[in-house]
A and B are shown apart, each in its own frame.
Chain A
Amino acid sequence: MSVAQDRAPQPRHTKRLPYSAIFDAPDQDRVHAELATFFGPHADVYLAVYEKMRAAEPAKRMVVRAWSWPVFFGSFTWFFYRKMYAYGAIVILLPLAVGYLFGSAGGGVWLILAIWAKAWYVNAALARITKADQLGLAGAERSDYLRRAGGVSMVAGIFAGAVFVLFLVLAVANSAGYLPGV
């Protein structure tokens, strides 16, 4: 075999897709148990999304759509409640920066969040399981790691809820002309 042939790029269909080892693992009961440990309350909702991802074509597993009413009505508060702090913060901060740069952050952001949030959450869980594998965690230590990484935080939900209410008050005050223009 020539050097040129050795260095030829791998065909697209042979590349490993993210988390394919988990999706294709023979012991799916164990995967479900670990995901349920990570998800905490209402784990069945997110396990259903995981199964939808598994059933999808491998290339489309990461972009499965699943509507979320809590995200539609509560926006970033749901991300904070589910301890996805970076996602929640980006949902708040990115529109500020985009709004400053382009004048508007676009009105369809909430719809996009409501469609993709559950899939992002399942992806976060799969990333944690992968990291637990990399750390070589097993048994009780592994369960503890997943439980601490996932679950919900009522305090974070209330904190984000307060910020959400603040935004609503500012929006109402702005539309009523109570706020000075910048």
Chain B
Amino acid sequence: MMRVVILLAAISPPLLVLGYGIAKGRGSWRFEAMWNAFLVGAVGGIAAIGCGWLIDHLLPKSGNLLLDAGAAAILVAAVPEETIKFFVLVTFAEKHVDVRRLQDLLILAMAVSLGFAMLENFFYVISVDDWRTTASLRAITAVPGHGINGLAMGALLMAARMPRDRRPARIRNALLVPVVLHAAYDFPLLAIEKNVERLWLAAMWLLVIVVSSALVITLCNRMLAKAVTADRAAGRDNVSVETNDWLIIGGIAAVAAGPLLAASAVYAKGVELASVATVLAVFPIALGIDSIRTGLKRRKERFDTGRPASLAL
């Protein structure tokens, strides 16, 4: 029975973040292409483990702890993981016959990224004794971090596929930006693991999370507005999918549950100032606030115009 709980603790956070992506892109849980992307993304996770393991063994160690942490963050983690996600997105997911809207690319990118995160989370959570702390902390940091990377990849791929502003060279940005974000997230953590000065690195890590959340969510909102306009012009905007209320409810849940989860995980370890740990919940708070904001704007437009809102973000 306990193993079922552990399994659920590993696979439910990626699905919750995916719910945000689906609502944001006004998609549906019944979207077959999305499940394909999610599952193949998870298979990509297995391929990435193999690549990461191989590169880690081939990579020479310099002896400089910061340099080694930087090389590992870029070459062992960020490059293979984001490249495999990008490959799955453009080779399998995007080519699915049911993908008709530009907005679908955002959902697919998040699905690939979170399928990947699900597999990674599964291996992390089942391989430690203290699975509760690992599952709780990863649910508010690494898993939504993969979601943010997927959001960036999807937004930039949408930008590259805009019909009136098509610039194929932009496709490379959809790979490069997530690689940079991923490396920036992993570097302080890997350096801390190597016992380099902790306080500055921890502060740097939090700064990376705050800045990447703000930048990616802003970028996504801009690109999504353009994608909705393009989809509507092409007659491919399915305004019937109504997700406003779920965006608001999910957003409130994320803003409330994220800090609570962080504080409880740290408190369970016997740390007195557990409330300080709420700062770890930057990702869920950022996604939650954006979710509430998006839901309220769409709802307002629907009441103002008397028709289902789609352009508002």
Interface centre among B87, B92, B122 (most CB of A within 10 A): B92
Count how many chain B residues have C-beta atoms less than 8 Å from C-beta atoms of the other chain.
22
Contact B126 A162 (CB under 8 A): no
Would you call B79 an interface residue if the criterion is a C-beta within 8 Å of the partner chain's C-beta atoms?
no
* Partner among A85, A149, A153, A166 whose Cβ is within 8 Å of the Cβ of B47: A166
Contact A97 B127 (CB under 8 A): no
Would you call B233 an interface residue if the criterion is a C-beta within 8 Å of the partner chain's C-beta atoms?
no
Would you call A92 an interface residue if the criterion is a C-beta within 8 Å of the partner chain's C-beta atoms?
yes
Contact A156 B47 (CB under 8 A): no
Task: Return the CB mask of A125-145 against B: 1 if under 8 Å, else 0.
Answer: 000000000000000000001
Contact A149 to B126, CB < 8 A, known contacts A86-B39, A89-B40, A93-B43: no
Task: Identify the closest chain B residue to A131 (Cβ).
Answer: B98
Would you call A159 an interface residue if the criterion is a C-beta within 8 Å of the partner chain's C-beta atoms?
yes
Give bound CA distance, A159 to B46, whole Å: 11
Contact B39 A93 (CB under 8 A): yes
Shortest CB distance B85–A (Å): 13
Contact A85 B39 (CB under 8 A): yes
Residues 127-182 of A at the B interface (beta carbon under 8 Å): 145, 148-149, 153, 155-156, 159-160, 162-163, 166, 182
Task: Return the CB mask of A78-116 against B: 1 if under 8 Å, else 0.
Answer: 000000011011101100110011000000000000000
Task: Return the CB mask of A36-64 against B: 1 if under 8 Å, else 0.
Answer: 00000000000000000000000000000
Residues 91-150 of B at the A interface (beta carbon under 8 Å): 91-92, 95, 97, 119, 122, 126-127
Shortest CB distance B34–A (Å): 11
What class of interface size applies to chain A in its complex with B? 20 to 34
Shortest CB distance B124–A (Å): 11
Contact A100 B92 (CB under 8 A): no
Contact A86 B36 (CB under 8 A): yes
Contact A96 B122 (CB under 8 A): yes
Contact B92 A89 (CB under 8 A): no
Residues 1-43 of B at the A interface (beta carbon under 8 Å): 3-4, 7, 32, 35-36, 39-40, 42-43
With A96-B122, A100-B7, A148-B95 given, can you name 15 additional A-B contacts, CB distance below 8 Å? A85-B92, A86-B32, A86-B40, A89-B42, A92-B43, A92-B46, A97-B7, A100-B126, A101-B3, A101-B4, A101-B7, A163-B47, A163-B50, A166-B46, A182-B126
Would you list 21 pairs from A and B whose C-beta atoms are within 8 A, ordered by A residue? A85-B36, A86-B36, A86-B40, A88-B40, A88-B43, A89-B42, A89-B43, A92-B46, A93-B42, A93-B119, A101-B4, A101-B7, A145-B97, A149-B97, A155-B91, A156-B91, A159-B87, A160-B43, A163-B46, A163-B47, A182-B127
